[in-house]
Amino acid sequence: MKGMRGGTNQGGEGTRDHRDLGDEGELLAVRHLKRLGYRILVRNYRCPLGEIDIIARHGGVLVFVEVKSRGAGNSVSPKQALTPAKQHKLSQVAWYYLQKHKLTEANSRFDVVAIRGMPDVPELEVIENAFESTY
């Protein structure tokens, strides 16, 4: 998911500004993850079950990364936006990827890059092992 991409704003309508915010957040996240030693394998992985923002390697671990971007005035924290339903959806997409690429035995985890204060002064937080898989 791209910040609010595919979602709604408080008025109930998706907007280009939210998509742009999400795209900018993903670019910041990729750069930040690379500085931390992540090797980016895939961006915006899509399958019939949904999408994962980033798939990377960190050490010997395959990492599925969700990027949550929030503008400076948004009262919902990026962490709060990752609901149990969203975690389950990400788990399903990750399992699909693992099966398709014959990696079901690989060590894997779910990380979240939470970005606040977009676009003015973004603050990034990487949450490793943000949640357990539900597949």
Residue 89 or residue 81, greater confidence: 89
**Rounded mean pLDDT, 26-46:** 96
- Give the pLDDT of residue 94: 98
Using alpha carbons only, how large is the chain's radius of gyration in Å?
Answer: 14
Burial of 63 (0-12, 13-18, 19+ CB in 10 A): buried
Given a contact cutoff of 8 angstroms between Cβ atoms, the answer to whether 5 and 16 are in contact is no
Which CATH number is associated with domain 16-131?
3.40.1350.10
- Give the pLDDT of residue 36: 97
Given a contact cutoff of 8 angstroms between Cβ atoms, the answer to whether 13 and 105 are in contact is no
- Which of 32, 61, 48 shows the shortest CA–CA distance to 100? 48
Average pLDDT, the chain: 83
Residue 74: pLDDT over 70: no
- pLDDT single digits (tens) 43-56: 999 999 999 999 99
Given a contact cutoff of 8 angstroms between Cβ atoms, the answer to whether 1 and 66 are in contact is yes
Residue 20 or residue 127, greater confidence: 127
